[in-house]
Structure 1
Amino acid sequence: MLNSLYSGITGMKAQQTKMDVLANNIANVNTTGFKSQRVRFQDMISQMDSNAQGPNGNGRGGINAQQVGLGSSVSATDLMMQGGALQFTGRALDFGIQNGDNSFFVVSQDGNPGGRHQYTRDGGFYTDYEGNLTTANGMRVMGFSTEIMTEESDYDATALTQENNFGALSIPQTYNGLALQDYSIDDTGTIIGTYSDGNAYIIGRLALSTFTNADGLEKAGENLYNASTNSGAPTIGGPTDDGFGTVRSGFTEMSNVDLATEFTEMIVASRAYQANTRSITTSDEMLQELINLKR
């Protein structure tokens, strides 16, 4: 059988994978903090019809190898980690990360500081009736808590980033008999609560994580990422610290999907798929002519 039949099939499969990725990008155009993907291709092994030969002693020149390719395959599906635009919401528990494409919020299923953590760019958080800071799916938001709340005038953001202070964040509704009146989060991720005595107290600070190779993170669904063997171990710190982004309260990060690019790539993929099907039908016509020689 003609190799072109199978080369056409590999091309169709590769373009179908590209269409799958493009469709997923478009489906998540309004997903908070979504990072788009792109597909890259590579050629497959080639059939060697004739090896290369160098010049010989009789004055004859060299001859290049004769090879016939056997199709294409997907080489990579890259994560495009560029930050999306920040959209104003005005909600106190909405957070967007600015100037930190490799920074992520840290969340945990059970809030255990030494447990399994996951990472997200979706900063739309909530509080439950106990004051725990959670994601939309109930994951606990991790950060740096203070055992004894201090007044804002005594605030030291770096002191909150000590390792023994790392854990799940909560905003207590009462403290030493005082009732919570209001709270706010500044650009350093520090949660400042105002209680019924009129004083502002430091409650905690949001944690961020960075990775040596953020492109190596694995998508886990629900706007979450898992660390992988190629992403490197996470480095935990606070917003505005060296190497970390800045947290903007009242904003959420929009998807970085560019619809113009996605639709253009969709046209390219569609035509490439059509061309591969045409190579199969043309190869079939050649086989038909060969069979007709028997008549």
Structure 2
Amino acid sequence: MIRSMYSGVSGMKGFQTKLDVIGNNIANVNTVGFKKSSVVFQDMLSQTVSSVGVNPAQVGLGSSAASIQQNHNPGSGMMTGVGTDLAIMGEGFFIVGDPLTDAFDNPTVNQSYYLTRTGNFVVDEFGSLRTSQGHYLLNKNQEKIRINPEEYSSFAIKDDGQVYGMNKNTGNEEALAGQQIAIFAPANPAGLRKVGGSLYEMTTAAGPNGTINFGVEEENVSKIQSGMLEMSNVELTEEFTEMIIAQRGFQANSKMITTSDEILQELVNLKR
């Protein structure tokens, strides 16, 4: 009876964690580039009550959350018609840097790099592409993607990430030297660490040495679609179904605790 009570407690804790994850998924159903998560459970230690016979007699001691896994399947695309809205068609992430100008202009300043699938970039007053939080979109040379507004009247981004500008003097479209958007595809994207703001941090679980390689070529693998955003990969029908399962599981474990308590109460009453 005591074992069943503690097993019920562990079950309630596990389903509470599952509900927390589902709630976060649903809250981000409209978040651009969001990747949903799911909880994987495992049983806890088992107590051997008897070793007599062919098979051991064991009683389980409940369950626990083994891991919370991220699902990096691509979300659906939404056409916006805005040239600075970018979506990656395939694997990989955009590489962005801290919104610290000195970190790019001064080699002695340490620079932090992050990964993101959120492609709603904007152009600042200096012609640099930045996220809504101010992080700079980087090219394959680990520099800012920058379009000189005094030299080019407009620009476009091709599917290989190369930036082209319309020269004000000649009226011709020309490729901007060194301005090709970097895409990095970690070996294990589920190993990335979320740091908030739709950003991911590289870890040793995601790839060798936990470093971002700017030189990885993604031609014929991943393309960049301009004028489109990748939406969240959360499916509400799946989340509601999992929510019902988690709710019923929580209720069942709660009932297990109350049932064990009633039996204990009956034992106490036998003394009277």
Q: Same fold (TM over 0.5)?
A: yes
The answer (yes or no) to whether the contact 2:19–2:246 under 8 Å persists in 1 is yes
Partner of 2:173: 200
Distance 2:182 2:147 in 1: 15
Larger strand share, 1 or 2: 1
CA RMSD, aligned part only?
1.6
**Offset of residue 11 of structure 1:** 0.3
The answer (yes or no) to whether the contact 2:121–2:130 under 8 Å persists in 1 is yes
Question: Counterparts of 1:81-92 in structure 2 under 5 Å?
Answer: 81-92=72-83
Partner of 1:13: 13
Q: What SS class does the counterpart of residue 143 from structure 1 fall into?
A: coil
Q: Which amino acid counterpart does residue 122 of structure 2 have in structure 1?
A: Y
Determine if the alignment matches structure 1 residue 236 to structure 2 residue 214: yes
Partner of 1:256: 233
Partner of 1:134: 130
Q: 1:67 aligns with which of 58, 62, 79?
A: 58
The answer (yes or no) to whether the contact 1:187–1:240 under 8 Å persists in 2 is no
The answer (yes or no) to whether the contact 2:142–2:214 under 8 Å persists in 1 is no
The answer (yes or no) to whether the contact 2:123–2:129 under 8 Å persists in 1 is yes
The answer (yes or no) to whether the contact 1:96–1:251 under 8 Å persists in 2 is yes
Cα distance per residue 1:221-276 (max 9 Å; x no partner): 1000001120113333477525x411000000000000000000000000000000
Q: 1:170 aligns with which of 138, 143, 146?
A: 146
**Offset of residue 166 of structure 1:** 3.2
Q: What SS class does the counterpart of residue 123 from structure 1 fall into?
A: coil
Structure 2: state its 5+ residue gaps: none
Distance 1:246 1:190 in 2: 11
- The alpha-carbon distance between structure 1 residues 31 and 127, as it changes in their structure 2 partners (threshold 3 A), is same
Task: Work out the number of aligned pairs and report it.
Answer: 259
The answer (yes or no) to whether the contact 2:35–2:234 under 8 Å persists in 1 is yes
Cα distance per residue 1:185-238 (max 9 Å; x no partner): 111111111021212222211111111111100111100000112011333347
Q: What SS class does the counterpart of residue 243 from structure 2 fall into?
A: helix
Q: What SS class does the counterpart of residue 244 from structure 2 fall into?
A: helix
Q: Which aligned segments of 4 or more residues in structure 1 are displaced greater than 2 angstroms?
A: 110-115, 233-240
Distance 1:183 1:238 in 2: 25
Q: Which amino acid counterpart does residue 269 of structure 2 have in structure 1?
A: N
Q: What SS class does the counterpart of residue 137 from structure 1 fall into?
A: coil
Percent of aligned pairs with the same amino acid: 43
Cα distance per residue 1:47-71 (max 9 Å; x no partner): 11123x6xxxxxxxx5211111111
Partner of 1:117: 113
- The alpha-carbon distance between structure 1 residues 95 and 279, as it changes in their structure 2 partners (threshold 3 A), is same
Q: What SS class does the counterpart of residue 167 from structure 1 fall into?
A: coil
